[in-house]
Amino acid sequence: MKTMTTVACAALLSLGTAAMAPADTSDKRIALSNNYAGNSWRQAMLRSWEKVTGEAVEEGVVAEADAFTTAENQVTEQAAQIQNLILQGYDAIVLNAASPEGLNGAVREACDAGVVVVSFDGIVTEPCAWRIAVDFKQMGKDEVLYLADRLDGGDLLEIRGLAGVFVDDAISAGIHEGVEETGKFEIAGSVHGNWAQDVAQKAVAGILPSLPEIAAVVTQGGDGYGAAQAFKAAGRPMPIIVMGNRHDELTWWKEQKDANGYETMSVSIAPGVSTLAFWVAQQVLDGADVPKDLTVPFLRIDQENLEEALERTEPGGVANVNYTLEDAKEVIGGGAM
Amino acid sequence: MSAPVSPRVLRALLPPLSLAALLIAIFWLQPRTMSYFGLNLLLNLAVPIALATIAQMFILCVNELDLSIGAFVSLVACITATWLHDAPLLGVLALAGLVAAYAGLGALIHLRNLPSIVVTLGMSFVWLGLAVLVLPTPGGAAPDYIRSLMTLKPPIVPFPIIASVVLALAVHVLLMRSAWGTVLRGAGGNPQALARAGWSILRIKMTMFALAGFFGVLSGMALVGLTTSADANIALRYTLLSIAGVILGGGEFVGGRVSPIGAVIGAVTLALAGSFLSFLRLNPDWQIGAQGAILILVLALRVLISRGEVRR
């Protein structure tokens, strides 16, 4: 029994050791400092962390990788938590921060104590920390670039998110930049779908009668399925609707694909970005030269890998991906964006 | 049994003994904390909490309760990180204005005979609103002198310990040992007697609220010195922490019965309780409950001792 485990471990190790020397960080301890666990995205994020770091610990890549969530989503709580993690002797802290600025003092203390700090999603501005940020603007632009490949031109309907939130502005700015650069499209109408299918459906149904034929719908995620329902109810030809990795969106897309060969793409941020941050921290501890500002790759689903993605997504959830060491190295390599 | 230790002494010893027990448990769980560096990290965030607790103590001393201190400290933090950094004169004026506003609150509560809970609860939204106006998105920078004071590394004894001891002793002398302090405390114990003796209760309440405002300002400045920048929600937790700290340190809700040294010890104990639970690796869902359990345990001990006191 014991030898079998050893053999299995050795096999696992040899799979992953092509480019890394696992011994270098095998005595290192990495902690996750998280400020909030109250929605499905955060829960998925914690599950990803548990799964990937659990395997990494078993394989001996690192000695420990524990997750800590503060009891309350408060800056002072998390600052105290970070200081406690320093005292517990962790070599690196992976951080999803309650505030981009309020934790800088504690992060500074960590850096001064020789602890590597990698922030992701909720990033911190303290220069000594690493940041894995999301380029929402690029995400919006990518949607238009995809459409430019598929179509010769036409009218677009834009579904925006929650008004006044930074993410909404960023994605929309990217979409408009893409439209300007490609010069093929015209944005015929724009509604706020608040990242919710029911809101999006009502908003699209309301604006549709005033619109010419729509070639494609650009979205922000969580609104594609509602848009499709509105088009169907109005009896209008189905445009290309860009999806946002939600389970209901992917399910609808799959049904259409099987029925009439409907083609589109889907893009969003995977909660598994926590595991990317883990590998980046591991790489920094390993002595790799890692730029301080990295950008999260989007999780994009295309016609070919739709079935595979749908299978791995829980009903009611968001498509997720657990990043590997190789993914992290790729991000680090091309990270100076 | 001859009792060389009277309940009164026991009662006074309870806060330092709980602190000592907690410290020993932490040292045992995490020996790394038993160093200059460790104590510094363990205790530095307790300094602003101790200052806020002292502010709350002044209010409790005159039989009132301040539910706005957390929002107030947040507002001070926002002003410190913006105006005090960019335009020191404006910053100082704004902070002085806030202290005056606190004195005004004391006057309002006394003259109109309003319940302080209602007034301060209302003010907490005002402070929070102002904080968002001053600093709409998290940011700002701590003035260099505050930053260097809070990160001071004096020889042998870590700064948070020196700061806590100085704070406790200074307020102790002011409130417990001076004639003026006795009058101030009297307003909580027996206001009628003081009024008949010719003292103005209005002036006393205004003084106590102004002192609370002053220490609230110090708390916000100390906090920014540690975090380097501010956030409108940065100190909301301080409201409950400060009340718990005063009570844990031997204070009572009525009767002007407070202890500055106890309040500082109570604040430090509460700050350490969080670290202790985190070192225990307790599930975060249980941590708030466990913090409450520690509080109940200490207070239950106190009730037991008080009963002994009454029986005599």
User: Which residue in B has a C-alpha nearest to residue A71's C-alpha?
Assistant: B284
Q: Cβ neighbours of residue A226 under 8 Å, at least 6 residues apart?
A: A193, A196, A197, A198, A199, A200, A201, A202, A204
Interface of B with A (CB under 8 A): 30, 32-33, 37-38, 41-42, 44-45, 138-140, 223, 225-231, 233-238, 271, 274-275, 278-279, 281, 284-285, 287-288
The total number of residues written for chain A in this structure = 337
Say if residues A36 and A81 touch (Cβ distance below 8 Å): no
Tell me the residue type at A17.
T
For position A164, what pLDDT does the model report?
Answer: 61
The answer to whether B229 contacts A101, with C-beta atoms less than 8 Å apart, is: yes
> Which pair of structure tokens corresponds to residue A25?
């960080």
How far is Cα of residue A186 from the mean position of the Cα atoms in its chain?
29
Decide: A54 and A32 in contact? Cβ < 8 Å: no
Q: What is the pLDDT of residues B190-216, one digit of tens each?
A: 889 999 999 999 999 999 999 999 999
Taking only the tens place, the pLDDT of each residue in B241-290 is 999 999 998 888 877 789 999 999 999 999 898 888 888 887 767 777 88
Query: Mean of the pLDDT values across residues B219-234?
Result: 91
Please tell me the predicted confidence (pLDDT) of residue A1.
41
Interface touch A69/B284, C-beta < 8 Å: yes
Amino acid of residue B148: S
Percent of chain B with pLDDT over 70: 96
User: Would you call A73 an interface residue with chain B, using a CB distance cutoff of 8 Å?
Assistant: no
Superfamily of domain A22-134+271-297+321-333: Response regulator (3.40.50.2300)
Does domain A136-268 match CATH 3.40.80.10? no
Average pLDDT for chain B: 90
Q: Where are the domains of chain B?
A: 8-305
- Whether residue B11 contacts residue B250, with contact meaning beta carbons closer than 8 Å, is answered with yes
Q: How far is A206 from A192, CA to CA, in rounded Å?
A: 11
Residue spans per domain, chain A: 22-134+271-297+321-333, 136-268
Residues 94 to 133 of A: which have CB under 8 A from any B CB? 99-106, 108-109, 113, 126
Residue A165 is predicted with a pLDDT of 62
Is B231 close to A80, i.e. CB distance below 8 A? no
DSSP for residue A79: H
- The residues, any chain, with a CB within 8 Å of residue A220's CB and separated by 6 or more, are A140, A159, A160, A161, A167, A168, A171, A172, A193, A195, A244
Q: What is the pLDDT of residue B312?
A: 60
Q: For the residues B223-247, what does the mean pLDDT come to?
A: 90
| Type of residue found at B21 | A
Q: Kindly state the DSSP code that residue A298 receives in the 8-state scheme.
A: P
Nearest to B69 by CA among B270, B227, B245, B273: B245
Beta bridge partners of A65: A30
User: What are the tens digits of pLDDT across the range A19-38?
Assistant: 444 447 889 999 999 988 76
Distance to chain A for B116, nearest Cα, Å: 26
Worst-scoring range by mean pLDDT, A38-52, B185-199, B298-312? B298-312
User: A22-134+271-297+321-333 and A136-268: same fold?
Assistant: yes
Nearest CA in chain B to A89: B32
pLDDT tens digits, A302-325: 999 999 999 888 887 788 888 899
Provide CB contacts within 8 A for B280, sequence distance 6+. B29
Which residues of B are less than 8 Å from A87 in CB distance? Answer: 30, 32-33, 38, 41-42, 275, 279
What is the DSSP-derived secondary structure letter of residue A22? Answer: G
Cα angle for residues B70, B76, B77 (degrees, 5° grid): 90
Strand A266-268, strand A299-301: pairing: antiparallel
pLDDT tens digits for A67-79?
Answer: 998 877 788 889 9
Confidence of residue B296 (pLDDT cuts 50, 70, 90): confident
CA distance A58 to chain B (A): 20
Q: Which of A10, A61, A27, A95 is nearest to A324 (CA)?
A: A61
